[in-house]
């Protein structure tokens, strides 16, 4: 049976084995998908052992996405743009290929939620790995202008420098006053029970507030957006599933429907 795995540290919390088992069952694919705890200084060894034992492909999560980027022989365009790899596989020549499905997973989830990305202006909060991986796919999907705001403005500027005039960097106090149809929180602030401290006026024209984090309860950012009258809010559970579906497609050539698995995961979280 073909073997796949997710590599991370910690990894016990990962929902990927459950998700891929559901995808495989729905599509009649015979595969095994495990969670592998790689030592903090031993990601490459861990990956090589897995391949030596017959492993076909893997997902990579915190803190190894940049190391996976270094390890890959061949990088996709979206992995290069993200500066990080979340999906690994061997091509027919035996070369290690690195891709990144996080950003395309976000775009797929936004599309599922009914957002038209073509021609809109987006406010993206945060300048870490999660944010960087999202920009290229959002622009490719037709976003007209993207304002990248971060608490530490230099980090936003460093990321924006990789993109053209469609991306503008700023701090939270200098966000341009213009209508944003979509506001995305890509910061980790919700993990500490906080939200990015931006002014409420930036939500005035927002149709959907999206938080890349997810949990049993709405994140502080989504609670705030709701209180400010944003008509629709969504957390990152759909993005998690959509990035997994894209990885599954890369490995198996079949794209799973995330809807039934999303319902199961929501049940598990509640």
Would you list which residues are annotated within the binding site? 14-16, 61, 86, 102, 126-130, 150-155, 212, 214, 236, 243
DSSP line for 23-73: HHHHHT--EEEEEEE--TT-HHHHHHHHHHTTEEEEEE-TT-HHHHHHH-S
Which residues are known binding-site members for shikimate? 14-16, 61, 86, 102, 214, 243
Binding footprint of ligand ATR on the chain (CB under 6 A): 126-131, 150-152, 155, 187-189, 192, 194, 196
Tell the smallest beta-carbon distance from residue 86 to ligand ATR (Å). 11
Structure tokens at 173: 């106090």
Please say whether the beta carbons of 245 and 27 come within 8 A. no
Type and span of the H or E element at 135? helix 129-140
Distance, CA of 40 to CA of 13 (rounded, Å):
17
Q: Which residue is nearest to ligand ATR (CB)?
A: 128
CB of 40 to ligand ATR, least distance (A): 16
Q: Which CB sits closer to ligand ATR, 5 or 198? A: 198
Binding-site residues for NADP(+), in ranges, read 126-130, 150-155, 212, 236
Whose Cβ is closer to ligand ATR: residue 49's or residue 154's? 154
Closest CA to 199 of 181, 183, 175, 178: 175
11 touches 61 (CB < 8 A): yes
| Least distance to ligand ATR, CB of residue 260, Å | 28
Active site residue 65: yes
Set 65, 144, 254, 266: catalytic member = 65
Toward ligand ATR, which CB reaches closer, 128 or 142? 128
| Cβ closest to ligand ATR, residue 187 vs residue 242 | 187
Residue 218 φ/ψ, nearest 5 degrees: -60, 145
Per the listing, tokens 């319902």 go with 263
Catalytic residues: 65
């Amino acid at each position: 049976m073909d073997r796949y795995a997710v590599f991370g540290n910690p990894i016990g919390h990962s929902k990927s084995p459950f998700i891929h088992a559901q995808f495989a069952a729905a599509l009649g694919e015979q595969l095994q998908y495990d969670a592998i705890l790689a030592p903090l200084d031993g990601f490459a060894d861990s990956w090589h052992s897995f391949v030596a034992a017959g492993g076909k492909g893997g997902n990579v999560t915190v803190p190894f996405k940049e190391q996976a980027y270094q390890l890959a022989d061949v990088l996709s365009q979206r992995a290069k743009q993200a500066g990080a790899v979340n999906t690994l596989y061997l091509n027919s020549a035996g070369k290690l290929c690195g891709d990144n499905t996080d950003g395309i997973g976000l775009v797929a989830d936004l599309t599922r939620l009914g957002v038209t990305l073509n021609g809109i202006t987006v406010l993206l909060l945060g300048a870490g790995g999660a944010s960087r991986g999202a920009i290229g796919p959002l622009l490719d999907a037709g976003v007209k202008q993207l304002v990248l705001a971060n608490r530490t403005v230099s980090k936003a500027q460093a990321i924006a420098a990789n993109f053209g005039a469609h991306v503008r960097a700023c701090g939270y106090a200098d966000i341009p006053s213009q209508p944003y149809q979509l506001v995305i929180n890509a910061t980790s602030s919700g993990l500490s029970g906080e939200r990015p401290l931006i002014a409420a006026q930036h939500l005035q024209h927002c149709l959907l507030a999206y938080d890349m984090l997810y949990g049993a309860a709405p994140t502080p950012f989504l609670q705030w957006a709701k209180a400010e009258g944003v008509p629709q809010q969504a957390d990152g559970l759909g993005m998690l599933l959509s990035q997994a579906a894209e990885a599954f497609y890369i490995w198996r050539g079949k794209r799973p429907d995330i809807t039934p698995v999303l319902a199961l995961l929501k049940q598990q979280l509640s």
